[in-house]
Amino acid sequence: MKTTVRHSRGEYVVETTTLAGVLAALGAEDFVVTDTNVQGALGLGPECFAVEPGERSKCLATYGSVMEWLADRATRGSRVVAFGGGVVGDLAGFAAATYMRGVACLQVPTSLLAMVDSSVGGKVAVDLAAGKNLAGAFWPPERVLVPMDALATLPDREFANGAAEVWKSGAILDRGLLERLEARPISKQDEGLEWVISRCIELKAAVVEEDEFETTGRRAVLNFGHTVGHAIEQAQGYCGLLHGEAVAVGMVAEARLGEAIGETVAGTAERLRAGLASQGLPTALPKGLAWETLVGAMRRDKKAARNGLAFSLVSEIGTCRLVTGVEESDVRRVLEAM
Ligand SMILES: NC(=O)c1ccc[n+]([C@@H]2O[C@H](COP(=O)([O-])OP(=O)(O)OC[C@H]3O[C@@H](n4cnc5c(N)ncnc54)[C@H](O)[C@@H]3O)[C@@H](O)[C@H]2O)c1
Ligand SMILES: [Zn+2]
């Protein structure tokens, strides 16, 4: 399945394929960046640059070594291939954006999260000590090839992690998709998985086309569950729940908040809680997190403003909007009840 994404400098195609299809599309001017898990699991050769797996590789030091590796072999006409999960996508994408002031980037997402979320939209970055994604760029890929059979080796916890973003897409943008997930949570064996992934790509592409550079607020709707989710990840020092898991808890919390302030149709939070639990995702706040710590992190969220906290809230399943000026006392009541 194919989706075309238009952006300010042109357009690119996101296409589902197989690992063999990806390898056949690579040529002598392609330089593959991956991580050692993906290299081993998918049998990539020694000619690629493989970083250590995990978020810690999305740093300036690793970025520097990718750039030096490129400098030894790549020219202005070369293409950087980001072959892996979201960490590799963001890291290699940022290297592509900056090597010789920008060379082409082929995104090959191999985790479910990267397929439905990070490989589409052109945001690339590395983390700084002061925070995540602080050094980055908008650098649309030249093409995105999604090898469906790569999911066979993805660990189950990572699959569920990506599934959280799939549920999010249904909750905020597509009631039909959410109902499909409620009827049958996705699994690697699911015959409809390629359709579900392609639908998520289409949904994200449409939002990104409307607000490529995050200036109108439209792109912020993709942040449903993320204000609370990011706060949980930060409070746990990024060593607790995985991103998608934290977002699952965040979606339940933010749906409850929406119900409490009259923004969300009653019953939505329970509906999402039951669905996310059926997908094997956590839906309760991890123990031992003080609400003050969480609200403190939410105050630093990029959507927050002087008049209060901001959340992308579901109105009813399939529609959502950015709500600003939310009182901390309302957030506190919801978190304490969880
Ligand atoms: N640019 C964006 O718009 C955007 C959006 C969302 C998330 N992100 C970023 O994405 C990152 C998270 O991405 P992620 O969840 O893919 O993490 P990840 O890249 O760390 O991958 C998760 C784990 O799965 C392994 N893996 C990936 N594909 C595999 C496969 N096919 N077989 C076996 N193992 C495999 C990886 O080695 C890693 O251990 C974060 O850094 C986040 O900030 C970016
Ligand atoms: Zn996310």
Q: Which residues pair with 137 in a beta bridge?
A: 124
Let me know: does 211 contact 261? Beta carbons within 8 Å: no
Ligand 1 pocket member 252 (CB < 6 A) = no
Express each pLDDT in 249-269 by its tens digit. 999 999 999 999 999 999 999
Write out pLDDT tens, residues 175-204: 999 999 999 999 999 999 999 999 999 999
How far from chain centre, in Å, is Cα 201? 11
Say whether 101 is catalytic: yes
Instruction: Judge if the beta carbon of residue 158 lies within 6 A of ligand 1.
Output: yes
pTM recorded for the entire structure: 0.97
Q: DSSP labels for 187-217?
A: -TT-TTHHHHHHHHHHHHHHHHHH-TTS-SS
- Count of CB atoms situated within 10 Å of the CB of 239: 7
Residue type, 278: S
Mean pLDDT of 131-154: 97
Tens of pLDDT, residues 197-250: 999 999 999 999 999 999 998 999 999 999 999 999 999 999 999 999 999 999
CA 330 to ligand 1 center in whole angstroms: 33
Is 219 part of the annotated catalytic residue set? yes
Query: Following DSSP, what letter does each residue of 144-186 receive, concatenated?
Result: EEEEGGGGGGS-HHHHHHHHHHHHHHHHHH-HHHHHHHHHS--
- Residue 226 CA to ligand 2 center (angstroms) comes to 7
Q: Which residue among 58, 79, 199, 219 is the active-site one?
A: 219
Residue nearest to atom 2 of ligand 1 (CA): 118
Assess whether pLDDT exceeds 90 at residue 72.
yes
